[in-house]
Amino acid sequence: MPEFIRAIGIYYRSELNAIKKSGVQLQPVYEAFSNAWESIIERFSKEKLRHGKIRMEFHYTMGLFQDDAENQTAALDKIIIIDNGVGINPASYNRLLTLRDNSKSASNKGTGRIQFAHYFDETTFDSMYSIDEHHGKHIIMTLSKKEAFLNNNAILRKELEEDVTDWQPYTKVTLNRVLDEKKDGNFFSAMSLENIVFELKHHFLARLCESRINLPTIELVRFEDILLIDKLLSL
């Protein structure tokens, strides 16, 4: 059964007001990409980063202002980021639960997940990780600031947690339904994969340069009404 993960010692309505929505509209994408990158390092190490894979899917639905194909507009439905890193293991899970956790680094404020909630109606985390050589764990959680969550003083709800014996570590993050359809929705509608790659390169320039001879496989794809429209490999 789904279970709200209630906060202890904090009040989420106040925290959501205190941690403002970023003015950088790609911030949720940056956060998901950074988490995927760090998960890959945790699994493979910096020296073997090339074994990592990050796939970013941008899913759009098409609409018509008129009965004219030239007037079609693309509305963002969801963004999916998949990596083959270590998965949401107990350490990652505890960081996800602890607001303002900066155990990753001194510069990490531990509030990135709040940007998911500020920008998207729901964010789903679907992940598997290894317990030992023969056992793994599969976990699914939903993050949101909808009333059903805040009424339980929560922004996370555990949908599933099960033991598995056939698994490969991964994390799949799905950002569902942009909240501000006019402002942020229009921003994403206007973004091509080339635009997104440019912004990712600019934002993560130091990280990419440091690992330029050992980069993971990075794939960006665009879907329109479930049809694959465009694909870019690597940054």
Task: Show the tokens assigned to 29.
Answer: 């994408």
What pLDDT shows up at residue 110? 59
CA 118 to chain centre: 13
Q: What is the mean pLDDT of residues 4-17?
A: 92
List 191's β-bridge partners, or say none.
Answer: none
Q: How confident is the model at residue 102 (pLDDT cuts 50, 70, 90)?
A: low
CA 22 to chain centre: 15
Q: What is the pLDDT of residues 47-101, one digit of tens each?
A: 999 999 999 999 999 875 545 555 568 999 999 999 999 999 999 888 888 876 5
Q: What is the pLDDT of residues 128-178, one digit of tens each?
A: 999 988 899 999 999 999 999 999 999 999 999 999 998 899 999 999 999
What pLDDT shows up at residue 101? 55
Which domains are present in the chain? 3-18+25-233 (3.30.565)
124, 176 Cβ separation under 8 angstroms: yes
Residue position matching structure tokens 């990490």 = 108
Q: Considering only 93-107, 111-125, 208-222, which range has the smallest mean pLDDT?
A: 93-107
Q: Tell which residue, 100, 121, 96, has the closest CA to residue 179.
A: 121
Residue type, 202: H
Q: What is the mean pLDDT of residues 100-113?
A: 58
Q: What is the mean pLDDT of residues 187-216?
A: 95
**Angle 144-59-69 (CA atoms, 0-180°, nearest 5)?**
130
Q: How confident is the model at residue 187 (pLDDT cuts 50, 70, 90)?
A: very high
Statement: residue 106 has pLDDT above 90: no
What pLDDT shows up at residue 107? 45
3-class secondary structure per residue, the chain? CCEEECCCCCCHHHHHHHCCCCCCCCHHHHHHHHHHHHHHHHHHCHHHHHHCEEEEEEEEEEEECCCCHHHEEEEEEEEEEEECCCCCCHHHHHHHHCCCCCCCCCCCCCCHHHHHHHHEEEEEEEEEEECCCCCEEEEEEEECCCHHHHCCCCCEEEEEEEEECCCCCEEEEEEEEECCHHHHHHHHHCCCHHHHHHHHHHHCHHHHHHCCCCCCEEEEEEEECCEEEEEEECC
Integer Cα distance of 149 and 132 in angstroms: 33
Q: What is the pLDDT of residues 28-46, one digit of tens each?
A: 999 999 999 999 999 999 9
